[in-house]
A and B are shown apart, each in its own frame.
Chain A
Amino acid sequence: MEDSALERLAPEFDEHAAVVAAQRGDHAALSELYAHYFPRVYRYVGARLASSHDAEDVTEEIFLKIIDNLPAYQFRGLPFGAWVFRIARNEVVSHVRRQKVRGTTTQLSETIADDTADHTHEVEMQLTIAMVRTLTERLPDAQREVITLRFGAGLSVAETAQALKKSENNVKVLQHKAIARLQQMVQRL
C-alpha cells in the first residue's frame, strides 16, 4: 500500500494531543496542526474560489479564526478536523456573499510568459484545473460542498458529514450524484 498524496502532504499524527498542547500555547503543537491542515484548507478554499489571491486572503482569515477560537474548542462531539472545516466553510460562504455584494473583479496575472521552456504539461494541468473548477461550479451547492471537501480538502465521508452537519448517508448520496453529473458534463465537452 502506497501513501496517498494527502498522506504524503499531511502524515498521521496524534491530533488530540496536538490540540491540547496547542491550547496551552505550545508552538510545536501549533506548527504540527498548521502543517496538517494548511494544505487541506488551502485546497478546499482554492477549489471554492476562482482567484488564488482571494484563496490566500480567506485561508489567512480561517487560520486566524482558528487560533482565536482554539482556547474555546472542546472535544465534545465535533472532531477537530470537522471544527476546522466548519470555520473554513463559513469563511468561504461569507467571502462569496461579500463578493456578490461588491461585484467581482478581474484578476491580473502575476506570471510572465517564459518562451524558453516547454510548458505543455503545466498548460494541460492548468486547463484541467480550470475545467474541474468550471464544471464543479455548475453543480448544486450541496454537491459542490461535498466534492470540494472530499476531494479538495481530502476529508473522509464522516468528516465531511460533520463539517456540513449532514448524515454520512446524505454525503454518500450527494457524492454519487455529483460524480454522475460531472461525468455527464465531461462527456458533453
Chain B
Amino acid sequence: MISLFDRKPGPRAAILAEARSLMDDGLTLDFVIDLFPEDAEWLRPALALTASLTDSYTAEPASFFFEAELKAKFLAAADNPRVPAPAAPPATAFPFKTAVTTLTLASAAAAAGVVTLGFVTAGGAVPGDWNYSFKLAGERLQYALSRGDQRVNIQIGQAEARVYEIQQLSQKGDVSTSDISRLQDEVQAIASLAQAKPLDDVQKARLQGVAQTSQVVLNDTKAKQPSLGEPVVAAGEAIHAAVVMALAATPVPTATATTTTTASATATLTPATTPSVTTTPTPTETTAPTKTATPEPTATATETPPPSATAAPSSSATAPPSAAATESTESQATATPPPGAAP
C-alpha cells in the first residue's frame, strides 16, 4: 500500500525484516546471521526472539476434534450457505417510498432553513428582496399577536419601516406606486387605531416623525421619478390627512368641561382641556397650572351667569397656561427625534 506519509524503515528495521523473511523461507538462524556479519551482535537476539515467538504460537495447536468438527461445518456451509443471500428489494414500492420520504425530509429541512434564514435576515429587506415577504409576514404576525398600545406601536413601526423602504428604493429610483400606497395604508391604519384609542404623546411624536420624514422622502421620490408625481402627491395628501386625524383624535371630554361652560367659555376652554393630555411628557411646570387653573374658572362661570367681565378674566387666566402647554408640546415633538424614525 502506497501512502503519501509512508517513510522508509530505519536500517535495523529493514535488516531485521529481511533476515526474518529469510528465516520464513526456511533458512536457519545461524545461516541468516552469517549473511549479516556486521549486524550479528544485535540481530541474533532479535531473530532469536522472533523464533521463540513463532515456536510459542505453533506450540499450542488446536485440538484435533475441534479442527475436524470445524472442517465439517465449513464444508457443510459451502453447500448450505448460513446466511441466505439478501432478497432483492421490491422493485417499486420501497425505493419509491424511500425516495419520497427522503425528498420530503430534504425539502422540509431546506424549507425550514430558508424560512429561518428569511426571518433572520429580513430586518433590512426592501421590496424586491428575496426575503421581503418574510419581513411582511413577521410584521403581520406581530400585529396579530399584539393588543392595545402595543398594537399601535407596532403599526407606527410598520409605517416607519415603509418610509425607510421608500427612502432606500428612492436612492436607486426603484420606487413603485405599490410602495407608496403601502405607506399610505400604514398611516391610515394608525389613524383608524387612534380613533379607537387616542395616541399617547410618544406615539404622537413618532407619528409626526413619520409624517415629516415621509414628506421628505416622497418629495425626493417625486424629484427622482417624475413619472410618479401624481401618486406621490395624492399619497402625501392622504398621509397628511391621516396624520392630522390621528393627532386630532382626543379622548372623550370630562363631565366638568362640558356641562359648566357657556358658548363663549367652551371656545376658550376646549383647547385648554387638550393640554391636560399632552402635558404628561413635559416637566411638572406645565402640569401644575392646568390642573389647578381649569377647574377654578369653570366654577366661577357657573356661579356668575352672564357677566362677560368675569368670564374674560377666567378665560384669560386659563388661556396662557393652555397656550404655553400646546406650544411646549409642539416644540418638544419637533425637537426630540422620534424614536425609531430612522430604522
Contact = CB atoms under 8 A, between A and B. Distances in A.
Interface of A: 1-7, 9, 22, 25, 27, 30-31, 34, 38-39, 42-43, 46-47, 52, 55-56, 59-60, 63-64, 66-68, 70, 125, 128-129, 132, 136, 147-148, 150-152, 154, 156-157, 161-162, 165-173, 175-177, 179-180, 182-183, 186
Contacts of B45: 183
Given A128-B52, A173-B9, 7 more contacts: A1-B26, A27-B78, A150-B50, A151-B50, A172-B9, A179-B49, A183-B49
Interface in B66-93: 66-67, 70-71, 73-75, 77-79, 81-83
A64 B1 contact: no
A156 B60 CA distance: 21
A128 B55 CA distance: 9
B57 A47 contact: yes
Contact of A166 (B1, B10, B56, B66): B1
Interface string B8-32: 1110111011001101111110000
Contacts of A1: 25-27
A119 B53 CA distance: 21
Nearest to B47: A179
B16 A132 contact: no
Contacts of B59: 125, 128-129
A64 B58 contact: no
A38 B57 contact: no
Prevailing SS type, chain B contact patch: helix
A170 B81 CA distance: 37
B26 A67 contact: no
Contact of A31 (B17, B26, B71): B71
B46 interface: yes
A59 B67 CA distance: 10
A178 to B, nearest CB: 10
Given A68-B83, A165-B1, A172-B17, A2 B28 contact: yes
Contacts of A22: 78
B25 A5 contact: no
A186 B49 CA distance: 10
CB-based closest 5 A-B pairs: A176-B13, A151-B53, A172-B17, A172-B9, A152-B57
Contacts of B27: 1
Given A27-B78, A38-B70, A169-B6, A59 B55 contact: no
Contacts of A177: 13
Nearest to A166: B1
B335 interface: no
Name the residue among A9, A38, A47 with the largest chain B CB count within 10 angstroms: A38
A37 to B, nearest CB: 10
Interface of B: 1-3, 6-10, 12-14, 16-17, 20-21, 23-28, 45-46, 49-50, 52-62, 66-67, 70-71, 73-75, 77-79, 81-83
Given A39-B61, A156-B21, A186-B49, A161 B77 contact: no
A147 B78 CA distance: 32
A27 B78 CA distance: 8
Nearest to A38: B67
Name the residue among A55, A147, A175 with the largest chain B CB count within 10 angstroms: A175
Given A27-B78, A175-B17, A183-B45, A151 B6 contact: no
Contacts of B82: 64, 67-68
B24 A63 contact: no
B54 A151 contact: yes
Given A157-B21, A167-B1, A183-B46, A31 B75 contact: yes
A175 B13 contact: yes
Contacts of A183: 45-46, 49
A162 B54 contact: no
A34 B74 contact: yes
Contacts of B23: 4
27 contacts: A1-B25, A1-B27, A6-B54, A7-B26, A30-B74, A34-B71, A34-B74, A39-B58, A59-B70, A63-B70, A63-B74, A67-B77, A67-B82, A128-B55, A129-B56, A129-B60, A132-B53, A132-B56, A151-B57, A152-B53, A154-B24, A168-B1, A173-B7, A175-B13, A176-B13, A176-B17, A182-B53
